Structure 1
């Protein structure tokens, strides 16, 4: 887990309904993930959102990965 990269993800109660965003912009992590899952390339995303940096895309992916980590309990 890269804390410096994850620091690019911001949570502000009054912005985007409190959803995680990229560096305080009104670009949600979920927006980036949706674009990637639809097949958009990093270059296309960066062209559509000039305020983004490629590291922001990696930060969105890392944030999603961290959010899906959870302990697995196995009944004995």
Structure 2
């Protein structure tokens, strides 16, 4: 299992404080959008060779955790 806490970074001055991958300017939201548009892991890595499969899994894990926390607060 990927520990997203080692991969996802949040810096106030970078991309408006959005969660990013390893301090890069690629956000979790960017990755989710690419996946939602039909890109595969291989497509994303081919276009952004600085990303790894682990980075993509970390973005998914981060988003799932955030969604779960929001749902629990709403109940």
Work out whether the TM-score is over 0.5: yes
Assess if the C-alpha contact under 8 Å between 1:6 and 1:62 holds in 2: no
Name the residue aligned to 1:47: 46
User: Where do 4+ consecutive residues of structure 1 move more than 6 Å?
Assistant: none
**Which consecutive unaligned segments of at least 5 residues does structure 2 have?**
none
TM-score of the two chains, using structure 2 as the length reference: 0.88
Larger relative helix fraction: 2
Q: Over aligned residues, Cα RMSD in angstroms?
A: 1.5
Say which one has the larger Rg.
Answer: 1
TM-score of the two chains, using structure 1 as the length reference: 0.87
- What is the rounded CA distance, in whole Å, between the counterparts of 1:6 and 1:65 in structure 2? 13
More displaced stretch, 29-38 vs 62-71: 62-71
